[in-house]
């Protein structure tokens, strides 16, 4: 691929009957950037994301992720991306270690790789002591950090985070964003949806979705200038209120 | 292959870690088999018998003694009048009323002939029919004795419902279940229910559960192949199905002493295919439902129809033609047939081939549908 864009989206649309959840959105994400995908609840963020990760078929439009077409090659996309959903999606009735082993296994990592990754990850997260505990008994913040790490197990090119910090305390949110920075620093592209506007400030570029359409897309700094606002919060309110 | 192993490993861990599920898998079947096999009986026993003895002679008392001696009848009342007897029947206190007429002994001795009146509560027609047969047998037996007692063997004396004592006696031999033990008949069938219900519910609910908690979406984002996921998911329940069958066979041997005439290997061989049908069905249901509740309702709906139309409790031959055609689509029917054939009659591979082929076809169709309807992309 000649282009430096790891995600390329053109007029991507998803309609459920009469309702158009995502209305002809176009944007691109560059390699290695932290791309913030903002919008109010129900603006269509999650639907758009699901089309990009290959679990929802677009109604029309074009999209390539990591160089693969979302229509023709969803399985190739899946090998190259990590995904952390809004809902916590590790198994509560498995231990920390068993969860890591399972996801490592189904991404096709070898036993040796799984072992190395497990140790590395536990050390980074400081979870060595509770490796044998059921994930269900962990506090939410730890679960979120763990599921982010699990999404990175197979070293994907892009990781999709769907409101990763929902319901998490400010300290953990901060730690979470440090993890995101670190991951981006290692060259992984981050595609993150959120409705915390302070988090938007941390992104390299943000898009703001309103009623299924992308109404603004630029760096946080430029967006603030464009909308003559002090914070991203004000930008968002101006846009969302129309 | 490796991927499948990881899924299977995870499933087994989850199944055996689920404290609520374990008793369902291993204790309930045991209870079910023990309780149902003992309770679901077609034998008619403890018939509430009453009589109105208008004669009160040694002959009439001898007849009543015959009923008292029978294991089928419990003599509950002796009514002074028919009116009281009828009201007792209305209340359900008695099932059968035998009325012995005035001059019963006198007529019998003098005319060699008399009449008895029998009233049977026939709300349940099948039961009434059986009761009628029992009563006839006893009266016939009495008849023969009376003949001897009256020392006039050349002249037939007929009383009651049958007109003549039989001059031809038939000797019946019962094959495959010599003692007519209904448990021998029921146990293999109930074993089928148990294996079917538990594997169907467990498999169906298992996948829906992943939908509910959101892990299915996470799985769908991985490059895992459809067949890997399905095999990995269903294989543990295939094994559990065998486990249930084994537990059931042990119970039926140890507790009920059910004969296993045919080959155990053949039973397992057939079950291997049968379980595929059930698991495919479970997966199919789970693909069309979003919650465990929905899956449970649908699975239950089918199981009830399958059970009632399986020939387990009521013979398929007595169903109307259209219903008999419908039973062709009932996998439980085939399993019940195979179990009874192999366990009780010692049927071999060629005997069960028709059932085996139909089951195999069913398995292919069911799993085809299940795989087709499972979509990683919505």
Instruction: Give residue B161's pLDDT band: very low, low, confident or very high (50, 70, 90).
Output: very low
Contact between B191 and B249 (Cβ < 8 Å) = yes
Contact between B341 and B353 (Cβ < 8 Å) = no
Contact between B166 and B139 (Cβ < 8 Å) = no
For chain B, percent of residues with pLDDT exceeding 70: 90
Nearest to A93 among B2, B5, B14 (CB): B14
Mean pLDDT of B180-186: 73
Tens-place pLDDT, residues B110-135: 877 778 888 888 888 778 888 888 88
Contact between B12 and B58 (Cβ < 8 Å) = no
Does residue B165 have a pLDDT over 50? Answer: no
Does residue B154 have a pLDDT over 50? Answer: no
Mean pLDDT of B266-286: 94
CATH number for the domain formed by residue range(s) B47-159 = 3.40.1710.10
Predicted TM-score (pTM) of this structure? 0.79
> Cα(A132)–Cα(A141) distance, rounded to whole angstroms?
18
Q: Is A107 on the interface with B (CB under 8 A)?
A: yes
Contact between A132 and A97 (Cβ < 8 Å) = yes
What residues in A contact B18, CB-CB < 8 Å? Answer: 93
3-state helix, strand, coil split of chain A in percent (to 5) is 40, 30, 35
> Cα(A102)–Cα(A90) distance, rounded to whole angstroms?
10
Domain ranges within chain B, ordered by starting residue: 2-40+179-373, 47-159
| Cβ–Cβ gap B219/A105 under 8 Å | no
Residues of chain A falling short of pLDDT 50: 1-2
> Cα(A89)–Cα(A150) distance, rounded to whole angstroms?
10
CA A123 to chain centre: 23
Domains recognised in chain A with CATH numbers:
5-240 (3.40.50.300)
Contact between B256 and B184 (Cβ < 8 Å) = yes
Among A16, A55, A151, the strongest candidate for a mutation testing the B interface, having the largest count of B CBs within 10 A, is A55
Q: Which residues of A169-203 are buried (b: 16+ CB within 10 A; e: fewer)?
A: eeebbebbbebbeebbeeebbbbbbbbbbebbebb
Instruction: Give residue B365's pLDDT band: very low, low, confident or very high (50, 70, 90).
Output: very high
**ipTM given for this complex:** 0.87
pLDDT of residue B334: 93
Does residue B310 have a pLDDT over 90? Answer: no
Q: Which of B31-45, B74-88, B130-144, B239-253 has the lowest mean pLDDT?
A: B31-45
Q: Measure B221 CA to nearest chain A CA, in Å.
A: 6
| Cβ–Cβ gap B376/A55 under 8 Å | yes
Mean pLDDT of B14-43: 80
DSSP letters of B290-341? SSHHHHHHHHHHHHHHHHHTTTSSS-GGGS-HHHHHHHTT-HHHHHHHHHHI
Exposed / middle / buried, residue B378 (Cβ in 10 Å: 0-12, 13-18, 19+): exposed
| Cβ–Cβ gap A55/B378 under 8 Å | yes
Q: Is A91 on the interface with B (CB under 8 A)?
A: yes
Q: Which long-range contacts (CB under 8 A, 24 or more apart) does B347-354 make?
A: B347/B262, B347/B266, B348/B262, B348/B263, B348/B266, B349/B266, B352/B266, B352/B270
Does residue B164 have a pLDDT over 60? Answer: no
Nearest-by-CA chain A residue for B216: A89
> Cα(A85)–Cα(B221) distance, rounded to whole angstroms?
10
| Cβ–Cβ gap A105/B13 under 8 Å | no
Q: Is A78 on the interface with B (CB under 8 A)?
A: yes
| Torsion sign (Cα): B122, B127, B129, B135 | negative
Does residue B279 have a pLDDT over 60? Answer: yes
């Amino acid at each position: 691929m000649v282009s430096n864009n790891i995600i390329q989206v053109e007029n991507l649309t998803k309609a459920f009957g009469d309702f158009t959840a995502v209305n002809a959105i176009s944007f691109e994400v560059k390699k290695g950037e932290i791309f913030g995908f903002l919008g109010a609840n129900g603006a269509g963020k999650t639907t758009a994301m699901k089309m990009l990760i290959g679990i929802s078929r677009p109604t029309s439009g074009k999209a390539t992720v990591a160089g693969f077409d979302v229509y023709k090659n969803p399985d190739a996309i899946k090998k190259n991306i990590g995904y952390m959903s809004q809902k916590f999606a590790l198994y509560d009735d498995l231990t920390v270690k068993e969860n890591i082993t399972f996801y490592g296994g189904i991404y096709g990592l070898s036993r040796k790789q799984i072992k190395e990754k497990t140790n590395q990850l536990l050390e980074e997260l400081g979870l060595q002591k509770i490796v044998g505990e059921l994930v269900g008994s962990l506090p939410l913040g730890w679960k979120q950090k763990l599921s982010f790490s699990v999404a990175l197990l197979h070293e994907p090119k892009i990781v999709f985070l769907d409101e990763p910090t929902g319901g998490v305390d400010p300290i953990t949110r901060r730690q979470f964003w440090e993890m995101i920075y670190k991951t981006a620093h290692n060259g992984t592209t981050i595609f993150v949806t959120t409705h915390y506007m302070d988090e938007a400030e941390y992104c390299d570029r943000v898009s703001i979705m309103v009623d299924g359409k992308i109404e603004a897309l630029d760096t946080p700094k430029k967006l603030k200038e464009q909308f003559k606002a002090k914070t991203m919060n004000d930008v968002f309110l101006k846009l969302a209120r129309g | 292959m490796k991927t499948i192993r990881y899924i299977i490993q995870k499933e087994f861990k989850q199944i055996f870690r689920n404290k609520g599920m374990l008793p369902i898998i291993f204790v309930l079947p045991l209870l079910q088999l023990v309780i149902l096999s003992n309770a679901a009986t077609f034998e008619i026993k403890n018939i509430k018998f009453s009589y109105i003895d208008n004669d009160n002679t040694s002959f009439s008392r001898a007849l009543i003694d015959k009923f008292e001696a029978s294991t089928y009848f419990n003599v509950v009342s002796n009514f002074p009048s028919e009116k009281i007897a009828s009201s007792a029947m209305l209340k359900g206190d008695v099932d059968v009323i035998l009325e012995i007429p005035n001059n019963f002994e006198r007529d019998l001795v003098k005319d060699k002939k008399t009449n008895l009146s029998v009233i049977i509560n026939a709300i349940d027609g099948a039961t009434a029919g059986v009761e009628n047969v029992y009563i006839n047998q006893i009266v016939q037996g009495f008849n023969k004795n009376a003949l001897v007692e009256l020392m006039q063997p050349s002249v037939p004396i007929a009383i009651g419902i049958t007109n003549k004592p039989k001059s031809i006696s038939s000797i019946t031999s019962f094959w495959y279940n010599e003692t007519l033990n209904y448990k021998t008949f029921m146990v293999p069938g109930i074993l089928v229910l148990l294996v079917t219900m538990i594997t169907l519910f467990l498999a169906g609910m298992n996948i829906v559960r992943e939908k509910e908690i959101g892990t299915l979406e996470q799985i769908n984002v991985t490059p895992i192949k459809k067949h890997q996921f399905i095999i990995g998911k269903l294989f543990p329940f295939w094994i559990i199905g065998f486990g249930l069958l084994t537990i059931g066979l042990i119970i039926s041997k140890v507790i009920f002493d059910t004969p296993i005439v045919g080959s155990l290997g053949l039973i397992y061989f057939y079950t291997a295919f049968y379980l595929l049908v059930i698991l495919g069905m479970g997966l199919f249901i789970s693909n069309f439902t979003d919650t465990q509740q929905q899956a449970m309702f649908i699975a239950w709906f089918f199981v009830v129809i399958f059970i009632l139309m399986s020939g387990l409790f009521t013979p398929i031959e007595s169903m109307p033609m259209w219903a008999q055609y419908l039973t062709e689509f009932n996998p439980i029917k085939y399993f019940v047939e195979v179990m009874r054939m192999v366990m009780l009659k010692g049927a071999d591979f060629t005997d069960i081939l028709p059932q085996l082929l139909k089951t195999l076809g069913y398995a292919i169709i069911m799993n085809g549908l299940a795989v087709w309807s499972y979509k990683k992309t919505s």
